[in-house]
Amino acid sequence: MNLAAAEQIELEIRRLLQRKRPVLVAIDGRCAAGKTTLAEELRELCGCGVVHMDHFFLRPEQRTEERLNTPGGNVDRERVLQEVLLPLSREEEVSYRPYDCKLQALKEAVQVVPGPVTVIEGAYACHPSLREYYDLKVFLTVEKEEQLRRIRRRNGPEAAIQFRERWIPLEERYFAACKVADCCDLRFETHGEK
């Protein structure tokens, strides 16, 4: 990730902290655009907590045709709201069980201690039902060929096919229908190695 982007976001976070606490930051965007990397850079710069939207993908019993046909419907946004955003907005400790896509099960609970800043990173973080809880919304994009190269490197060639045929189209439909990039305060395009 471009360190300049992290530093620009950190500057905006510092401005927000002068007016309010806690500050909740969303990082949404295309898969393999560097959302997790950026969140980790912000953790190092600001000491913020980080919650990953990947922990909230739908469990098998939730994956109805109706739900999956709804833009942004393949994430358990109701659980994100109840278990993460509402407690953080009240400066309460967060406890949730991450969903493990490989195991198709919920794992042991993790705790997030409320601090001055928490970042919620991942695709679908800026879903319309969640966005009012954020003080700063960031959108990351990446050129399609670079995106697929990163996915192949990160997940392997077989997974890259599934991303290209299933997950990327679902994300793109969500971005278009929910006007995600337009609702964000800051937008960055990532380039090169991730």
Domains in the chain: ranges and CATH = 3-190 (3.40.50.300)
Residue type, 33: A
d(CA 92, CA 103): 29
Beta bridge partners of 188: 140
Q: Which two tokens stand for residue 178?
A: 């929910």
The residue ranges of the chain whose pLDDT is under 50 are 1, 194
Within 8 A by CB and 6+ apart from 193, the residues are: none
The predicted pLDDT at position 102 comes to 87
Q: Which two tokens stand for residue 180?
A: 């995600």
The predicted pLDDT at position 4 comes to 85
114-130 pLDDT, tens digit each: 999 999 999 999 999 99
- Looking at the chain, the number of H-run helices and the number of E-run strands are 9, 9
With beta carbons less than 8 A apart as the criterion, state whether 79 and 96 touch. Answer: yes
The 3-state DSSP class for residue 84 equals: helix
d(CA 122, CA 94): 18
Neighbours of 18 (CB within 10 A): 7
With beta carbons less than 8 A apart as the criterion, state whether 26 and 140 touch. Answer: no
d(CA 89, CA 107): 24
